[in-house]
Amino acid sequence: MILLDIFTFSGRLHPLIVHLPIGIILLAILFNILSYLQRYRYLKQSVPLILLIGFMAAVLACVFGYVLSLSGDYDADTLTHHKFSGITLAIICGLLYLSSISKFREYLRVGDKLFSALLLGLVVLMSYSGHQGASLTHGKDYLTFRTLMQQEREKPATVEQAMLFEDVIQPILQKKCVQCHRDGKQKGELSLESLAALKEGGKNGQAAVPGKPDASELFKRITLDEDHKDFMPADGKAPLTKNEVKLIAWWIKEGKAEGGKTIAEIKNTTALKPMVALFLGIGGLTDSDEGDSEMSQVVNPDLPLAVDAMTIANLKNKGVRVRMMLNKPVMLDITLPPKSGIKVADVKTEILKLAKNIVWLNFSDNELTDQELDFLPALTNLEKLRLDKNPITDQLSDYLISLKHLEAVNLNETKITDVTTLKLKKNRGIQRVYSWKTNIAEVKID
């Protein structure tokens, strides 16, 4: 990156310097008002000196502000208002100082009351100028009554209900682009603050060409090499994540760079749905920048995001193997070592505490009976269950019918019969049942 030249550098100090005169002038006003009280009379003498310092600080702020304005990209009207109100402020401040020192009093005599009134007027002018300045930096609607009343869009409950532009694309633009590309500060003459502004395009043409990501300036800029001088976001600001880029490409291509459509209304959504879910935090995961990966996966949304570490430690101390399958949300694989001699009753409390985290469970070869396994219905997120080599019977399958995430059940070398086959058909989620060396030859679930 090129080093900023000294002008740009000092220009950027304007927002810092500008607070000096604000504070100093406020102090002058405070002292002036306090001096009406008998107790603080003596403060009156200090006001001219404070005003002088405030004046000098204001001049400095004006100079820096002017340098900053040269870098362009600011809304012209607001800038003019800010500039002239600022300069006026500095001049009035200087004049008030002059009027209060004896040498000039001969030419310009201002009464005490008038002096105080003028100082208060200065506060009004300062507030106005400050507001204009803030609008330049943060956008016109940063601090308005409308902002105060505005309501946040309600988060959609499902991916299908989500509005592609309003819920997905606009938040991305807000987060990564709008700081520079907005109504008050149109870098490259482009604003991405609203869909209407986006459609107007910027200096380099249309930001988003419906259906053609590669022809869209917006998409081109965010997909350049990070070292390229035209890469956006510029100046080392946080780039868009891989998923965000993919979502924008998809919005331009399939969403025709339009708003007002839900995900369900748009074609070819299958590949992108997981990403949208991830982005909106549906399904327990969020698309954090650090965890961004080409292989982000969508996980069962019912899984808890946390787990009680003490319970896990207790289980491990009792000889149960606990394997972390995923940290967020927490997925656990619990194994009772074969012929462990551990009684289920001794570990049931812990298992029930972790019930919703358990995704794989392996209790094979532990002399278990149906009754001991009556806690299974509580394991609502269970996907794979191994109970092979246990003296369990057809009764067991009653516990499995309500488990809607269950995919595979291993009942090899148990006492099950065809009754289990029939019962398990009630759970349509189960795809594979292993029944080798049982009274059933082969379980076929179709």
Partner 1 sequence: MADHHHHEEEFRLHDPEFNRLNQKLDRRDFLTKTSMGIGALALGSLFGNKLMGNAPRPAIINATGDMEQEILRALPHFAPKAKRVVYLFMSGGPSQLETFDYKPALVNMMGQDLPESVRKGQRLTGMSANQSVLPLVPSYYKFNQHGQNQTWVSELLPHTAKVVDDLCIVKSMHSEAINHDPAITFFQTGNQLPGRPSIGSWLSYGLGSDNENLPTFIVLVSKNGQKDQPLYARLWGNGFLPSKHQGVQFGSGKDPVLFLNNPDGYDGADRKEMLAYLSKLNQIQNSTYGDPEVDARIAQYEMAYRMQTSVPEVMSVADEPEEVFELYGPDSKDPGTYAANCLLARKLLEKDVKFVQLYHQGWDQHGSLPSGIAGQCKATDQATAALITDLKRRGLLEDTLVIWGGEFGRTVYSQGKLTANDYGRDHHPRCFTMWMAGAGVKPGISFGETDDFSYNIVKDPVHVHDFQATLLHLMGIDHERLTYKFQGRRFRLTDVEGKVVKGILT
Shortest spacing between CB 295 and partner 1, in angstroms: 6
For residue 118, how many other CB atoms are within 10 A of its CB?
Answer: 14
For 390, the token pair is: 């246990």
Show the binding pattern over residues 366-405: x = contacts partner 1 (CB under 8 A), - = does not: ------------------x-x-x-----------------
Under rule CB under 8 A, residue 231 binds partner 1: no
Residues 409-438 that bind partner 1 (CB under 8 A): 410, 412, 432, 434, 436
Give me the amino acid identity at 408.
A
Under rule CB under 8 A, residue 115 binds partner 1: no
Under rule CB under 8 A, residue 293 binds partner 1: yes
Under rule CB under 8 A, residue 342 binds partner 1: no
Shortest spacing between CB 252 and partner 1, in angstroms: 23
Under rule CB under 8 A, residue 439 binds partner 1: no
Under rule CB under 8 A, residue 325 binds partner 1: yes
Under rule CB under 8 A, residue 331 binds partner 1: yes
Q: Rounded distance, CA 249 to CA 184, Å?
A: 27
Q: Rounded distance, CA 346 to CA 411, Å?
A: 23
Q: Is 418 exposed, middle or buried (0-12, 13-18, 19+ CB in 10 A)?
A: middle
Under rule CB under 8 A, residue 142 binds partner 1: no
Under rule CB under 8 A, residue 215 binds partner 1: no
Shortest spacing between CB 408 and partner 1, in angstroms: 5
Are 383 and 356 spatial neighbours (Cβ–Cβ below 8 Å)?
Answer: no
Under rule CB under 8 A, residue 61 binds partner 1: no
Shortest spacing between CB 427 and partner 1, in angstroms: 17
Q: Round the CA-based radius of gyration of the chain to a whole number and report it.
A: 35
For 424, the token pair is: 């398990």
The size of the interface with partner 1 (CB under 8 A), counted in residues, is 26
For 88, the token pair is: 């006026």
Write out the residues near partner 1 by the rule CB under 8 A: 293-295, 297, 299, 321, 323-327, 331, 333, 335, 337, 359-360, 384, 386, 388, 408, 410, 412, 432, 434, 436
